[in-house]
Amino acid sequence: MQKQNYAYVRVSSKEQKEDRQLIAIRAIKIPEKNIFADKQSGKDFQRPNYLKMLKRLRREDVLYIKSIDRLGRNYREILEQWRVLTKEMGVDIVVLDMPLLDTRREKNLMGSFISDLVLQVLSFVAENERENIRTRQAEGIAAAKERGVRFGRPRRALPENFDEVRSAWRCRTMTLHQAAQSCGLPDSTFYGAVVRAEDEEK
């Protein structure tokens, strides 16, 4: 059977666009039926279209990806998936943004060594950068909270009768449901507002 060219495209969320990847893939004339795309995190390889592609790949087929982080974002899993594809399945991989990561070239021990070494370095750098980004984000959020910045949706304004109704509920002259209805709030929202109000009064 004649070898086939395939491509894999991934973005992390439905809001992101895969245009840049598709432009690069289509420039090398990959048939549309052989382009597989997922809109999903790269934390693991349990992605529907990636798994479909694996079932189609045969020995000596060529898999194109735009960059190594499109394959995944977990250092160990990228290395394991690379090994499965190239060593067990006999598939060649071409990373368009990194010409050294082209397993079609120099199919000898030195060629494999260079390719594997570059892959390990790039995967490590990519994962290390993601860890740094997460650390910076966490530090930024903590600093913002110290400055009084609030995250998430603004709290719903409480009705004027909230304190009166809260007092009645605490005195057990009203049920939770009656109190919430009197304030025009869902039961859970009324209860949460009571807890926050009493925490702030402590």
Structure tokens at 72: 């995944």
Rounded to whole angstroms, the Cα distance separating 181 from 177 reads: 6
For the chain, how are helix, strand and coil distributed in percent, rounded to 5?
55, 10, 35
Catalytic residue among 12, 41, 67, 182: 12
Which of 6, 10, 19, 119 has its CA nearest to residue 60?
6
Its pTM surpasses 0.75: no
What is the per-residue pLDDT across 148-181, written as a single tens digit (0 to 9) for each?
Answer: 766 666 666 788 899 999 999 988 888 999 999 9
What is the per-residue pLDDT across 48-100, written as a single tens digit (0 to 9) for each?
Answer: 999 999 999 999 999 999 988 788 777 778 888 888 888 889 899 999 988 87
Rounded to whole angstroms, the Cα distance separating 49 from 108 reads: 32
Is 13 noted as a catalytic residue in this protein? no
Mean per-residue pLDDT, 8-17: 82
